[in-house]
């Protein structure tokens, strides 16, 4: 399971299926973790410490910074990290910013 702490979690297979449906997958690990453990295919890396600012960016700025279309507040987004704690925090941040 990709998320701990009693929030909605996904199996690897569920995530693969969701990615086919254009779900934005945000990996909130630090950049050094991506370098050490590898990038998850078709994910965008936005470290947790940048996430709140990133989700409030101008969409054009987001596209330049992360090479990805900025999600609308109603778009499906999946967060992942190494153990599930930061992805749970990321979900809370996104929800507090109005993402459904």
Catalytic residues: 81
Residue 58: other Cβ atoms inside 10 A: 10
For residue 24, CA distances in Å to 21, 63, 69 come to: 9, 13, 9
Q: State how far the Cα of 40 lies from the Cα of 53, in Å rounded to an integer.
A: 22
CB 15 within 8 A of CB 2: yes
- Classify residue 42 as left (phi > 0), alpha (psi -120 to 50) or beta: left
């Amino acid at each position: 399971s990709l998320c701990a702490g009693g929030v909605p979690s996904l199996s690897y297979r569920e995530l693969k299926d969701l990615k086919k449906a254009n779900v934005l997958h945000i990996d909130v690990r630090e950049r050094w973790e991506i370098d050490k453990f590898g990038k998850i295919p078709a994910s965008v890396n936005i470290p947790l410490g940048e996430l709140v600012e990133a989700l409030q960016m101008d969409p054009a700025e987001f596209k330049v910074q992360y090479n990805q279309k900025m999600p609308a507040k109603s778009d499906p987004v999946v967060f992942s990290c190494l153990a599930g704690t930061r992805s749970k925090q990321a979900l809370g941040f996104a929800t507090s910013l109005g993402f459904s």
